[in-house]
Amino acid sequence: MQMYNAQLSPYSARCRIAIQAKGLDVELLPISDDAVKARLAALTPMHKVPTLIDGDHVIPESDVICEYFEEKGEGPALLPADPAARAQVRLLARIGEIYVMEPMGDLFDQIDPRTRDKNLVARAMGEVVEGMGWLDSYLDGSAYAVGAALSFADCALVPILFFFERLGPMFGEEKPLQAYPRVASYYKAMHDDPHCGHVLAEMDVALKQFMGI
């Protein structure tokens, strides 16, 4: 298998955690220049990163890719056997992706205070705060997001929280996780998971390169 990958993308990072946790043999294809982007565009009209190539199958969208990994039956399961626990995994991932990451995405173009749209920032921050509050309510203090083992909830949430923690100070929140004690405890613990910790380190390097640090 091959996967078009961007080191700083939370969606690519989601898949990379799953790949590592399952021990899958996936070649990562960096989106490094226009030629690579053109090859990706020829494969899928969505032009999405990540996009997985498995033989004749071209699969965009990170959550679909992760589900595909699971259904291939290789490596440790990242969905619990219990239906209620599976629902919790999907709920937490959905809260993170839709109600935290999506509005947070609107903030990336607002980092420079000289060109900042204060109304847009206020709206986006309000939505992010609401989503983070929901996430803090649904996390129950387990070793991982759900239960005692890594799941797709962790694959989704860990990269999102990386950006939440890093964006906060740029918008006047020096300790953005402080208001969410369950999330803060969870995110700290995830640094000790070898798969999550490795991908967080990759994202840190990529962010420093992006910021020119």
Query: Whole-angstrom Cα distance, residue 155 to residue 151?
Result: 7
pLDDT digits (tens, 9 = 90+) for 86-135: 999 999 999 999 999 999 999 988 988 899 999 999 999 999 999 999 99
pLDDT digits (tens, 9 = 90+) for 44-59: 888 889 999 999 999 9
Query: Whole-angstrom Cα distance, residue 29 to residue 94?
Result: 26
Residue 78 maps to a domain: no
Residue 211 pLDDT grade (very low, low, confident, very high; cuts 50, 70, 90): confident
pLDDT of 76 reads 96
Q: What is the pTM of this model?
A: 0.94
Q: Which of 46, 72, 98 is the last residue of a domain?
A: 72
Angle of helix 152-167 relative to helix 62-72, nearest 10 degrees? Answer: 150
pLDDT of 38 reads 87
37's tokens: 């982007």
pLDDT of 37 reads 84
pLDDT of 34 reads 81
pLDDT digits (tens, 9 = 90+) for 160-171: 999 999 998 988
119's tokens: 């109304």
Domain that holds residue 203: 83-211
172's tokens: 């006047």
- One domain for residues 122 and 206: yes
Q: Which of 72, 106, 129 is the last residue of a domain?
A: 72
- Count of other CB atoms within 10 angstroms of residue 165: 16
Residue 133 maps to a domain: yes
- Count of other CB atoms within 10 angstroms of residue 55: 6
Which H or E run contains 4?
strand 2-5
Percent residues over pLDDT 70 in the chain: 100
- Count of other CB atoms within 10 angstroms of residue 35: 8
The total number of structural domains in the chain stands at: 2
- One domain for residues 52 and 99: no
State which amino acid sits at residue 40.
Answer: L
